[in-house]
Copies of this chain bind each other. A is one copy, B any other.
Amino acid sequence: MTESAPAGSQRALRRDAARNRERLLAAARQLFADHGFDVTLDEVAHRAGVGVGTAYRRFANKGELLDALFSEQTAEMAAAADTALTDPDPWHGLVTYLEMSLALQLRDKGLAQIVSGDRVGVEQHDWNRQVMAPKNRAIVARARDAGVLRDDVTGTDLTFVQVGLNAILARSRGAHPDLYRRYLHLLLDGLRAEPGTPTPLPVAALTSDETHAVMGPPITPGTARG
C-alpha cells in the first residue's frame, strides 16, 4: 500500500525500472502459464535477472504481479465472448464461448486459477467485473431471448459454471486434458430450454482406474510444500 501515487495518473517509470518491470512480467507470464501460481517469486525474479526486492517495488505482492498479467489474458477471454455475441446462432455462441474460455484456461494454468477466483489481485478483478460480467449477461440474454436457454438462467451462472468445470480441469489436465468437455456438455444439456433427447457426449468417461489415478494423492510423503 503506497499512498504516493494520486489514483489514476502515475509518473512514468525511469527507463531501467520500466525495463525491469517488463522483464518481470515476461518471466512471470511464462512461469505462471506452465506451473500456475505456485512458482516462487525468487524464481520469477531470477529468470527476469533482477533481485526479489525489485519485484516488490513494482508489485504489492505476488498476487498483484499475476494480476498485472490478467489484462493480457482477459483480452483473450473478452475476444471469445465477443465471438459468441456475433454468432448468428445464440446457442452455438454460448457453447463455443464456454469451450473457448475453458480451452484458454487449459493452455494457461495461471489464467485458470484467476478465473476460478483462486488467487487474484484487486485491480483487474474490477475490470473483470465491469467488462466480463456484462458480456456474460449479454450472451445469456441472447440465448434466452431466442428461446434456446432455460429462462431461469442468468449471467452469473456462467461464472459458477466455469468455477465448477475449472476444478475438473485442474484435476484432470495432466492425464486427460479434455475430460472437462464431458461435463460441460452434460451441463449444457441441463441448460437447454427444451431438452428433447440428450446429446451424445464428446468425451468418454474415465474408467475407475483412471479416475483413481487422477484423484490420487498429489502429495507424496515427505515432499509436502508449505
A49 adjacent to chain B (CB < 8 Å) = no
Kindly identify which residue among B116, B129, B190, B211 contacts A133, using a CB–CB cutoff of 8 Å.
B211
Q: Does A99 contact B (CB under 8 A)?
A: no
- Across the two chains, which residue of chain B brings its CB closest to A221? B60
A224 touches B63 (CB 8 A): yes
Chain A residues within 8 Å of B, Cβ to Cβ: 1, 60-64, 116-122, 125, 129, 133, 137, 150, 152-157, 159-161, 163-168, 171-172, 179, 182-183, 186-198, 200-201, 205-208, 210-212, 214-219, 221-222, 224, 226
A226 to B125, CA, bound (A): 22
9 contacts between A and B (CB under 8 A): A117-B215, A119-B219, A121-B217, A125-B212, A160-B171, A163-B167, A166-B167, A187-B190, A192-B198
Q: How far is the CA of A166 from the CA of B200 in the complex (A)?
A: 25
A-B interface, 6 closest residue pairs, ranked by CB to CB distance from nearest: A190-B190, A195-B195, A167-B167, A164-B164, A189-B190, A226-B226
